[in-house]
Chains A and B, each alone.
Chain A
């Protein structure tokens, strides 16, 4: 496996001013690092990778890494990525998006990208909160938890992202946490190789906002919590629902084969051109 210094040398932009913008203890760097390890393990050409993001802490990930990088507007990474993928079907398009970006302001785009089954890998960094704006509740903030716009407790029920995207038509759904780094690499690898719309939900931590207001302790405490609540799908399948209460099932949750959008569009082009040639004969 690639060493950390090799990873930094190979994938980080040398002409970008560091340090990065993330807080000490943030989980985003762990996910980004393991995404790079997954890409390296697949031996993909950097020229063939487009890394697209929306707005928020997660939205800042692309600028540091040496791919074709596109930092779009809030919630809109997926439609930008959709246009890019159609223009460049040979490229691997990877989207990084947070829970608010993906499921609140970008929720409509998310379900439609799932439905279309376009060959894009979407990594959703789910830390249960809007971090960059200082800790407001998001569509995944657990019921009863606090945020700076619900100090008395969240009265809204959260989305289960993995269930949402599966219902919407995604053809690959994986979930893991920022604690389970090897599993994270493996799932991202599988998601990138999957032909169709793949979603990887990564449960992660924001010690600065969500952690602080909900008294979850340090970043290490929050990682420990991720370790404790995660149950691998192979084990979860044998457990009864009572035992699984409060647990997070991880692993490749679902994979299916359905026609991919760009490939289908290619057949439309072929058919349209055949029809036209028929007309001109």
Chain B
């Protein structure tokens, strides 16, 4: 469907579905769950018209399994879920990390733990998205703060997944998912699309896990004549299970190396009023909106405050903080959890500035006025 670049009223979940289609996603498997269901509903309608496929699986374990299978078959794949479903996906998420399968999981966060608050905003899954599956593994986690970003970051998520052969998680606040905003989406032809690198050598020379100079191995699709093995066991360059300590080391370290090489490209950070800032607010997701409004008020009253907006949560963009630490006296981290990114900020800060957290876990947002009050209290 050709959509002209014009303004539309659209909610975050809708923007995610549009982003997925624009990025070339042609396979979705999912299971209904509030507050992400709209993504599945829209893609169930739109994918077949684009020649893509949608399947509703029996649970979220099956959903992620199906998108891994389809990705191995050459599709660009995505699923959407919320906390309880994301918990169920964790084992196969680890499989995708180790087997290096491109895919995107959209996790529209609800209040947790457990069934929690299904229709309320929360940012409680920040650490789960980083460490939810067992074992050491790299992960890419993006978090949009606006409806327009929900589109852009979904495209980016699909492209990063393809480029780095790694699962990418789009972590979205419920309030972004369901907020309606006026957005202008680019025409499909203007959207950058990245496709995974495929092998160009004859099949008998193909080593499925031999990394190229970029740190990423070319990925053949099943059925294309490159018969190879994919496993969740630690494996050698041929893809076969191994217990050889050197090969095990190369496998696990290689996973990290490819993400480290792409670190700058993966990290999306925006800075607002940071040049002369002596105080900073570090925010992501819906908290960016409250922080922006607070920033305006604080600047009007003469406070030298700036905003560091994290679009990428993992790998944690530590440079975003480090470059400003010499000029910062205080940093405030407002979050809809008990302080999950706060700890990262503490770690990077290493005692240089005063770090304060502002947390809320009752299903409501932190208002701009609360941020203003807290920052003023800190400055005093």
Enumerate chain A interface residues (CB-CB to B < 8 A).
13, 15-17, 46-48, 50, 52, 62-63, 66-73, 76, 78-88, 90-91, 108-109, 112, 265, 268-269, 271-273, 275-276
Contacts and interface: CB of A to CB of B under 8 A. Distances in A.
Given A83-B29, A87-B27, A108-B59, A68 B69 contact: no
Contact of A72 (B29, B53, B65): B65
B48 A269 contact: yes
Contact of B228 (A68, A88, A109, A269): A68
Nearest to A116: B55
Given A86-B55, A272-B48, A80 B229 contact: no
B100 to A, nearest CB: 13
A70 B238 contact: no
Q: Which of B29, B57, B73, B230 has the most CB of A within 10 A?
A: B73
Given A80-B69, A83-B69, A88-B74, A73 B57 contact: no
12 contacts: A15-B238, A71-B230, A71-B233, A73-B65, A73-B92, A79-B57, A81-B69, A84-B222, A86-B27, A87-B71, A88-B222, A112-B58
Contact of B223 (A48, A52, A63, A82): A48
Contacts of A66: 227
Contacts of B53: 86-87, 265, 269
A68 B62 contact: no
A82 B62 CA distance: 9
Contacts of B342: none
B222 A83 contact: no
B80 interface: no
Interface residues of B, number: 45
B91 A87 contact: no
A47 B51 contact: no
A83 B230 contact: no
Interface in B226-245: 227-233, 238, 240-241
Contacts of B72: 70, 80, 83-84, 87
B223 A91 contact: yes
Interface in B183-234: 221-225, 227-233
B62 A70 contact: no
Contact of A109 (B51, B62, B233): B62
A50 B222 contact: yes
Contacts, number: 147
A73 B232 contact: yes
Interface string B60-93: 0111011111111111010000000000000110
A212 to B, nearest CB: 26
B69 A90 contact: no
Given A71-B231, A72-B95, A273-B48, A80 B223 contact: no
B61 to A, nearest CB: 6
A83 B70 contact: yes
Given A82-B65, A108-B59, 20 more contacts: A16-B238, A47-B227, A63-B240, A68-B228, A69-B229, A70-B231, A72-B65, A76-B62, A79-B29, A79-B65, A79-B66, A83-B29, A84-B73, A84-B222, A87-B71, A87-B73, A112-B57, A112-B62, A272-B48, A273-B49
A70 B227 CA distance: 10
A85 to B, nearest CB: 8
A82 to B, nearest CB: 5
A79 B69 contact: yes
Contacts of B51: 269, 273
A82 B240 contact: no
Contacts of B66: 79-80, 82-83, 86
B350 interface: no
Interface string B230-271: 111100001011000000000000000000000000000000
B160 to A, nearest CB: 21
A13 B91 CA distance: 29
B45 to A, nearest CB: 8
Contacts of B55: 82-83, 86
A70 B230 contact: yes
